[in-house]
Structure 1
Amino acid sequence: MKKILIVLTNVSHYANTHDATGLWLGEATEFAEEIQKAGYAIDYVSPKGGFVPLDPRSMKYVDDSIMKFYETTDFKKRALANSLSPQDVNPDDYSAIYYTGGHGVMWDFPNNPELQKIALSIYNHSGYITSVCHGVAGLLKIKDDNDNYLISGKKITGFTTAEEIIAGKKSVVPFLNRPVAKSHGATFVKKRAYSTFAIQDGHLITGQNPFSARAVAAKLIQALN
């Protein structure tokens, strides 16, 4: 059985500010917990490898399951302290790649050719590209072998403009997901702000916000089975 690759950010603050950001904890732990319960092994990668910062605001939304997973030695060591670098990853080992969120990903996910190459290789070998919340930023610029945007003609979702306004970050993020997705040919689907929502279109599975990580995992597990 092949593994699932989880992508995490290395960005610790909003650009041109001292405001802290990073991985939105539950988007990693909730997905990983469901995937492991289904019997799949997990690896963690980040654009630079090594240390992964946590978005401090995400710690306000932890529950018992998130905290329990967060406190495991495996998660702290392999995800937060020693995530893999892209060059350490063999795409052939994975059935799917999952892009987590947290605002930091908007700076180090979209323009990373190494991660794009890994994702496309997994996709081209009948694997799945998945994301949640801001993690959709990792999908926006992936191009297929014909130099077309992979999301073109696909239905996807991610953190919405309305949710960005509610979060108070619309003025500091480098772009908004929906306009970029639409400009690259995707149909951006959304539901009520901060409600659980995930959608699958072929081998792309995306979730709208932090409350959608388990929904993405459920769709992926169903697809793999």
Structure 2
Amino acid sequence: MPAAKNKILIIVTNADEYRKAGLRTGLWLGELTHFWDYAEEHGFAMDIASPSGGKIPLDPESLTRQMLDDEGTGKRYLDRNFMDLLKVTMQVSEATVDDYDAIYLTGGHGVMFDFPQSKDLESLIARFYETGRVVSTVCHGAAGLLNVTLSNGEPLVNGMRVTGFSWLEEVLADRADAVPYNVQEELKKLGADYSTAAQPFASYVVEDGRLITGQNPSSARAVAEAVVKQLTAT
């Protein structure tokens, strides 16, 4: 692994609605805050980037009283300085791999629309992986892996153990008719060894070398723990 920079690049969505359903979406805030809190506590700095740059929409479902009652997310939501980080994000194309130890792709249904459409993001992820850095995702963030091809011509996820938001969870979230595709099945089509937790919405993380994936919003902190563990291993 390259010399440590103690810095992580976080990728968030610019998409604010489901294209065929008209429902609002965006970043699932807790998937940012839970990861951020743990990584920051362990000495890591972070930058936030998005495919288009600029202001980041928030999924309204992630801002309900139930979600903001969570101590970490609620505290961050009330922190003006922290929330201002989402007002002006840099474009993915502006990020330099050599500045970071790892990349983390957050979720929220919005990522299903813009992550796989970003050639810059695809090449960035491939460079992170092929230069010995950690690649991590949570929930729908796994959609950002779907079009990533390595220099040998193979999909990054081919033959890799992964997870991501399951189709059962999509159905239970009442979004099966709104999403443009099935993340679970698309990963499997690429040759990924996909697995899920025994219970939907339970925290679940899969590590396959430097590829770390979390199944759902409940998994964000556990993904951070796995990333930090890898980056601080001696």
TM-score normalised according to structure 1 size: 0.97
Runs of 4+ aligned structure 1 residues displaced above 6 Å come to none
Match of 2:48, SS state, is: strand
Task: Give the structure 2 partner of residue 96 of structure 1.
Answer: 102
Q: How many residues align?
A: 224
Aligned to 1:83: 89
What residue is the counterpart of 1:39 in the other structure?
A: 43
**Correspondence for 2:173:** 167
The correspondence for 2:221, drawn from 181, 201, 214, is 214
Alignment partner of 1:54 is 2:58: yes
Letter in 2 for 1:19: L
Displacement of 1:2 = 3.6
Q: Structure 1, unaligned stretches of length 5 or more?
A: none
Superposed, 1:112-151 pairs within 5 Å as 112-151=118-157
* Residue 17 (structure 1) shift: 3.3
Partner of 2:12: 8
Equivalents in 2 of 1:113, 1:75: separation in Å?
A: 28
Identity of aligned residues (%): 40
1:111 positional shift:
2.3
Mapping 1:196-215, distance limit 5 Å: 196-215=203-222
Q: How big is the shift at 1:3?
A: 1.1
Name the structure 2 match of 1:224.
231
CA distance in 2 between counterparts of 1:193 and 1:87 reads 35
Q: Is the contact between residue 51 and residue 121 of structure 2 (CA under 8 Å) also seen in structure 1? A: yes
- Select between 69-78 and 112-121 the one with higher mean Cα deviation: 69-78
Q: Distance in 2 between matches of 1:121 and 1:204?
A: 13
| 2:163 match | 157
User: Structure 1 88/14 Cα, relative in aligned 2: closer, same or farther at 3 Å?
Assistant: same
Note if 1:177 corresponds to 2:183. yes
Aligned 1:60-71 pairs, distance under 5 A? 60=64, 61-62=67-68, 63-71=70-78
Mean CA deviation greater in 64-73 or 181-190: 64-73
CA distance in 1, matches of 2:192, 2:17: 29
Between stretches 4-13 and 69-78, larger displacement belongs to 69-78
What SS class does the counterpart of residue 90 from structure 2 fall into? coil
Could you tell me how far apart the structure 2 residues matched to 1:75 and 1:115 are? 24
**Cα pair 1:153 1:186 within 8 Å, conserved:** yes
Measured in 1, the distance between the counterparts of 2:18 and 2:49 equals 21
Amino acid at match of 1:51: K
> For structure 2, which runs of at least 5 residues remain unmatched after alignment?
none
